[in-house]
Amino acid sequence: MKANVLNDLMEAARTGTEFYHSRDVSSPFKMLGRQPGPSVVGTACHGIKGTVRLQLLLFPDGKSLLVIPSSKWLSGCSEAAILAAAKVKFEPARKDGKPVGAFMTVEYNFN
């Protein structure tokens, strides 16, 4: 985990920052540009089939992101999915007009 994300997470805990599920905000976060696919980060899982499910914790600053695997680890594929998810750029979710932290689940399918 990058130190700045860990610091952001600790600061969020210290200040009482709340994180909402994407369905519980008035304006969900928006991905800026296209979400990179796992192939962007290499072919470490060539020949492996399966789905990697990740939880994304998106901070209200619109810059910080914590990626947490939430499915069975697929050697090479899980790493590729995490690296791809870490490249996602986003505009923060909003609740009552204010930027808030949000979390959501994303899946990467490998065939």
List, for residues 87-108, the tens digit of each pLDDT value.
778 888 899 999 988 888 888 8
Q: What is the pTM of this model?
A: 0.69
pLDDT of 47 above 70: yes
The predicted pLDDT at position 1 comes to 45
List, for residues 49-67, the tens digit of each pLDDT value.
788 888 888 888 877 677 8
Spatial neighbors of 56 by CB under 8 A, at least 6 apart, are: 65, 66, 67, 68, 85, 88, 103, 104, 105, 106
| Locus of tokens 């920052």 | 17
